[in-house]
Each structure stands twice: as structure tokens, then as C-alpha cells.
Copies of this chain bind each other. A is one copy, B any other.
Amino acid sequence: MATIPDTAERSTLASLFGEEPFSHCSRAVADRLEAIATVLTLSAGETLAGKGDGDRLVFITRGSAKLVSCTAPHGSTPIGSEGENRHILAFQFPGDIVSIPSQRAGGAYLVALGELDLVAFDAREFLDAAEGDPALLRGVLVRSLDTIQRNRKRMMRLGHRSARQRIAGFLVTMAERIAGCTEGPCEFALPMGRGDIGDSLGLTIETVSRQFTELRNEGLVTTKGRALVHLSDIDRLRHEAGP
């Protein structure tokens, strides 16, 4: 668990207030939120776990992270160690709102995939403050409904899709989320390794690698180094991913 850095807090928080759910935020509520906000910068591998008592609401402002289910790191496992429970629930990017349940309630933790800025709230405190600003509350609600939507799609992929379809779908999603690209060719750097991709898709490292190789042979994907990916035609990939 990282400690609170004493630099750049105000600016990060200010940037948050320019963004979607906060943009119309009333001054009084903004002040109150500022008082209870925890601004953090994590570097690669550092983690933010759920608290013992209440849920957390986390707003990602820069970088990317993986949300990992913590099955049973009951003290013994020094959280973050790549031990047993490799279950990646989601990848998160700037603008995302992540709710991290308390350790009691199932538990999960966020792991930075690189430099990561975020603003964390205690869920109860946040909601108490936000009740003073229904528009804010509504904004957060709409976003969480979107998240539910997104997760539904994901579930379909996990349940009824072949390895190839999962990888194709994953690449399309990453193109959209990392490069903001929805059609034509595009290039971007994957912040996560093959292992993490596999864990998030319910595949093994080897299967992920084999699928990459296949897509490469078919000219749909080019890679440069570990991370750099070039998609020659997103629409064709999307078609591969299935409906």
C-alpha cells in the first residue's frame, strides 16, 4: 500500500473537477470532496487494496491499472506477489471509476501497470458528500450503469468465445481504450504482459502467445518488441471477435 505523496495533489484533484461527473459540481460539494479525497501516485507494481471497513471509490486520472481479485491473501501472502490467485477482473484507464470492496466483502486490489495517478474516496464519505449534489450522484450512477454494460459484454466473451475471439476482442477494446481508435489501422503500446492478458481472458500465457502468432501470420497484427502492437484493420479484427 502506497503512502500519500505531498506533491501535485491540488493540480490532480483540480483536473478531476474538470472531468465528466464533476464538471457541474457545486462549490460547497467540491470543497467537501476535496477534504475527504486521497490523491495518490503509484509506480509500476504498487498496489491499492480495499480497506478493512468500507468500500473505496477510485477515480483513475492517469496511467493504467489492473483490478485483481484477491481470493485469500490473508496476511500470509504479501499482497501483490504474483502468487496463486491470478484473476484479473478488469483493466482500468483514465476516466474510469473503480469500486474496490472492503477486504471483508470479497476483496480486490488495484495494481499499477506503470505510473498511475488516482483519487480515492471512502465510498460512504463520498456518497454522503455527493448527496448534496444530485447531478454528481447521477453522473456516477450513469457511469456505473455503463460499467455494468461493459462487464456484460465481457462476460459473454468469457463464457462463450474461443481463444481467437477473445484475443481479437481484447485487441479491439484496447485500441478503443488506449489509442481511442475505433476503425482503420492503429498502433499503441500494451501496458500489460501476455500473462496479464491471459488472466483477464481466462486463457494461459501459451494460448495467448499462439493466438498472437496466428493473427500475426494472417497479417492482422504486427508487433514490435513486447508491447508495441500495430493493428492493420480494426474492423476485420472486430469481425473476428464475433458479435
| Chain A interface (Cβ < 8 Å from any Cβ of B) | 55, 69, 71-72, 85, 87, 89-90, 99, 101, 105-106, 108, 123, 127, 130-132, 134-135, 137-138, 140-142, 144-145, 147-149, 151-156, 158-160, 199-202, 243
Contact = CB atoms under 8 A, between A and B. Distances in A.
A43 B223 CA distance: 53
B71 A243 contact: yes
A66 B110 CA distance: 32
B138 A87 contact: no
A194 to B, nearest CB: 16
Q: With a 10 A CB-CB cut-off, give which of A106, A159, A202 has the most chain B CB atoms.
A: A159
Contact of A149 (B71, B99, B152, B153): B99
A141 B21 CA distance: 14
Contact of A127 (B71, B108, B127, B142): B142
B201 A148 contact: no
26 contacts: A71-B243, A72-B243, A85-B243, A87-B156, A87-B160, A89-B152, A89-B156, A90-B152, A99-B145, A99-B148, A101-B149, A105-B149, A108-B152, A131-B135, A131-B137, A131-B138, A134-B137, A137-B137, A137-B138, A137-B141, A144-B144, A148-B148, A151-B155, A158-B159, A158-B202, A159-B202
Contacts of A69: 152, 156
Contacts of A154: 155
Contact of A141 (B85, B140, B243): B140
Given A142-B127, A149-B99, A155 B55 contact: no
| Those 7 A-B pairs whose CB atoms lie nearest each other, nearest first | A159-B202, A158-B158, A131-B134, A71-B243, A141-B141, A158-B159, A137-B137
A154 B106 CA distance: 12
Contacts of A89: 152, 155-156
Nearest to A128: B138
A152 B153 contact: no
Given A89-B152, A140-B141, A148-B151, 6 more contacts: A69-B156, A87-B160, A130-B134, A137-B141, A144-B148, A155-B155
